[in-house]
Every structure is written in structure tokens, then in C-alpha cells.
Chain A
Amino acid sequence: MKVTVVSRSGREVVKGGIQLDDSATVADLQEAIHKRTKKHPSRQRLTLPVQPGSKERPVVLNYKKSLKDFTSGNSETLTVVFKDLGPQVSYRTLFFCEYLGPLLLYPVFYYFPVYQYFGYKGERVIHPVQTYALYYWCFHYAKRILETFFVHRFSHATSPLSNVFRNCAYYWTFGSFIAYYVNHPLYTPVGDLQMKIGFGFGILCQISNFYCHIILKNLRRPDGEGGYQIPKGFLFNIVTCANYTTEIYQWLGFNIATQTIAGYIFLVVATFIMTNWAFAKHRRLRKLFDGKDGRPRYPRRWIILPPFL
């Protein structure tokens, strides 16, 4: 069959189209487009043309499917709309970069005499809480990196390259900001009991968070099909985004133990970001699982932060 590849403005992206076997898959088409346009398949977004004025969302061509699935009846020709998503990087790479920063930068403030460059000369007394905070922090980001490689199943393989700069700026800046204050020579520790409660609660939440990630991983089919299931088990029975909930509370534990404004600012921003994600996910799941056509109905649940949201 002959495939015509056009841009969203109607211009032909591949002059003369592409000739493919009738049994070809979308992946084959993407390879062929790659050869002609030098754009790697991961940055190709291929959709079926939508009628002008139609409010419907365009049908995205999944790389596993046969091209035949998208030709309605007439299997001689197919027109696809091409959008260049820009340079892409794998999610694993993205997450590894953004988490490596905090993992390596925080210990610099603990181990190296950096505060002399901020005008603080002389000996530095290290409080126990600062040492525990170091372990807690590094454990957290090491856990995240290990989860990235061994636990998470990503719904999309790649993310735009620009997100590397944006996300790394966020994590690395906040990481340094917090590390600066917790390891400061003039740091004022909280009481012993408060520290223990903070770290204890935090560790509990980190372990819960890990378990949530395991549950989420098992929801995804191993062949990487993606798709949505209703999360079940453990905290997911009462809250949709239990993974975000445990993550937020885990940072709360860290802040109770270390008590820095910088840490609390980070907590507020991170909570804001995750709450936006949680609302979107909850809405999507409720829309998908509407109880019609044999689909289960999405149960009533907290979105992210019981008892408020």
C-alpha cells in the first residue's frame, strides 16, 4: 500500500509517499519515515487525519499495530499526519540525570568545606541529625534510581529533551538549596524526639512508597502494552495516587526532623506538582471506568491527600 505522510498544515513531509507491504506495521512505517526524514521513530507522532472542525481527539498510531488496522476498507492508500516531537531521550535517562544531581550534590555540602566560600571560616560541628539527614536523603535518591531501572514500567518510552534541562534544574537547584541549609555550620537542630519521629515516619512512608511502586508495576502488562487498570490493594483501596501520598508524607517526615524553610518550600512545591498529576490521573480513571459497557465503575476514593483531597 501507499502511505502519504503529511504535516498538520497539509504539506507533504515525505515527497511521493512511502510504499509498503500490505502486512506492514506502524513500526515499519516509522522506520521508513526515519530513513527519508532522518527523524528517529521516537520523535514521530503519527495520527489519522481529523475532519476540520471536529472536536474529536485524533487517533494515534501505535507502533505495534498493523497499518491495515487504520485503513478503513480501502487498503491501497493511507494518509497519516506527522508531528515531530523534537529530540527525545528515554525516560530512564531523564530520571537518572535528575536524581543523580541530588544524590551527588548533597554529600558535597556535608563532606567538603564549602561554607568557607560563603564566608564561614573555622571548624564545623556536625550534629547527629545532619548525619542521619545525609543517609536519609541519599537513601531516598538511590532508591529512586534503582526503581527507575528495576521497578518502573513506563507508559511512554521517551520524553522531550527539553525536559532534561527543566527537570534537572528543578531537582538539582532544590537539592543544593536544602543541602546548603541542613549542613550549614550555624544549623540549629530540633529536639531528639522530634528528630526520631520525623525520620521514623519518613522511613515508614518511603517503604510504603516502594510497595506502592511494586503494586503499580504489577498493574502494567509485562509486554509494555500500557493501558489503564484500576489500582487495587494496600493504600490504593482508599486513595487513587497512594504513591504520591506516601512520597509527600515522606518529605514531611524529613522536614519534621530537619526543620528548614528550604525543605518546607520544596515540600509545598512538590505537593503542588504531584497534586496536579493526581487530579489528572483520577479524572482519567473515572472517565475510563464509568461503569458502562461492562467496564467496572471506578470506586469512590480520595484523590491524593486524605482527608482533604
Chain B
Amino acid sequence: MAGFFSLLRRLYLTAYNFTLLVGWFQVLYIVLRTLKESGHENIYRAAEKPLLFAQTAAVLEILHGLVGLVRSPVTATLPQIGSRLFLVWGILWSFPETRTHVLVTSLLISWSITEIIRYFFFGLKEAFGYTPSWLLWLRYSTFLVLYPTGISSEVGLIYIALPFIKASEKYCLRMPNKWNFSFDYFYAAIVVLGIYVPGSPHLYSYMLAQRKKALSKSKKE
């Protein structure tokens, strides 16, 4: 019975990882094609559907961690997915004025390349129990460039969106109300920007340490 479940788990995770791999491939392909054919202003409109699908489906990864399907700790996946969902739904989808900015291009290229490598890596691992060493190298090296480009794009887009957030009053809760609570999306967005300041170097140095561990371990084998 246990063998059956472990096989089921492997099948499910393989299917999950390859589905998302295809999704992000679509995003990258559409971005590059649109860039060539028209211009960076149309990138979001063209890539919106696969982007919303691929990035939102990643919420399942939190579930996978919670129920123990995968080993990744929830504390690591939650902030990562949180920031992605915030950018996709909380900034780009909610404030169309930001969609034509050139940073959307750098954002989607950084994200899609990273995710393609990541999902391919995990898909192979679940399906065959093995990943080629060049893929391991890619997984633990591309972040060196893609994290700075991705993070800069995220921070830039949040900053660009600020005046639109303030003017629209979207997602704000004002007093007075029965529960004596208030929420200001503008100030919340500023707090998120603030979190990037200590958060980014922390994340980057964590990945550097992971890189050292993963690449030295593979050398020993």
C-alpha cells in the first residue's frame, strides 16, 4: 500500500512540475516573440493568461510542503510565493497602468528562465530520480544574475505603481467600522518595499550557501 502511494506521489509531482514547466515556457516564448514583433508595451497583454495560471498554480507548493509531500520548509516557500503573487495580482493585474512598463519584460524573462530550470530540475528528479549535472549547475548558478534582475524589476514595478495605488484607494479599509480596523494599501506597499531591503541580501546569501553545498557535493560523487 505504501508503495502505491509513493508511486502516486511521484506521478503527481512529475505531472505538476512538467505542467508548470510548459506554462513558464509559454510565458518565455510569448515574451520573446512579442518583443520581436511589437514591443515591450504589449508583453503583459500577450503573456497574461499563462502567467496568471503558472504563477497562481504555485500556491500548490505551499500545500505540498504543509502536507509533507515535499521536503521544502513552508517558511522558505511562503515569502517567495507571497512576493510573486503580490507582483502578479497585487500590482500588475490590479493596476493596468504598470503593464506597459519595460520592467515587465525584465521581470518575466528573469522569472520564466528561473522557473523553467527549477521545474525541469524537480520534474526529472521526481520522474527518474536523477538530474544531469549541467542542470544542477544551471539551477545553482543562474540565480547569480537572475536574482538581481528579478528583484530589481519587482522593486521597480512596485515603486512605479505607488502613485496609482494611492490615487485609486483600492483594497483600503477605512474607519469607522464595527471592527475598529483599517488598512491602507499604499502604506502596506511601502512596507513591502522596506522588506526587500534586508530580505534580498539575506535570500541571496542563502542561495550562495546552497550553491556551495550543492556543487561541492556533486564534485565528491
Contact = CB atoms under 8 A, between A and B. Distances in A.
A201 interface: no
A188 interface: yes
Interface residues of A, number: 11
A261 B181 contact: yes
Interface centre among B175, B176, B180, B181 (most CB of A within 10 A): B180
A279 interface: no
B178 A188 contact: yes
B4 interface: no
Contacts of B180: 181-182, 184, 187-188, 258-262
27 contacts: A181-B180, A181-B182, A182-B180, A184-B175, A184-B180, A186-B175, A186-B176, A187-B175, A187-B176, A187-B180, A188-B175, A188-B176, A188-B177, A188-B178, A188-B180, A258-B180, A259-B178, A259-B179, A259-B180, A260-B179, A260-B180, A260-B181, A261-B179, A261-B180, A261-B181, A262-B180, A262-B181
Nearest to A261: B181
Nearest to B177: A188
Contacts, number: 28
A272 B175 CA distance: 28
Given A188-B175, A261-B181, 10 more contacts: A181-B180, A182-B180, A187-B175, A188-B176, A188-B177, A259-B179, A260-B179, A260-B180, A261-B179, A262-B180
Nearest to B183: A261
Nearest to A263: B180
A207 B60 CA distance: 47
Interface string A260-279: 11100000000000000000
Interface string B182-210: 10000000000000000000000000000
Interface of B: 175-182
Interface string A27-46: 00000000000000000000
A184 B182 CA distance: 11
Nearest to A190: B178
Interface in A176-232: 181-182, 184, 186-188
B72 to A, nearest CB: 22
Nearest to B174: A186
Interface in A249-263: 258-262
Contacts of A187: 175-176, 180
Contacts of B176: 186-188
Contacts of A262: 180-181
A181 B177 contact: no
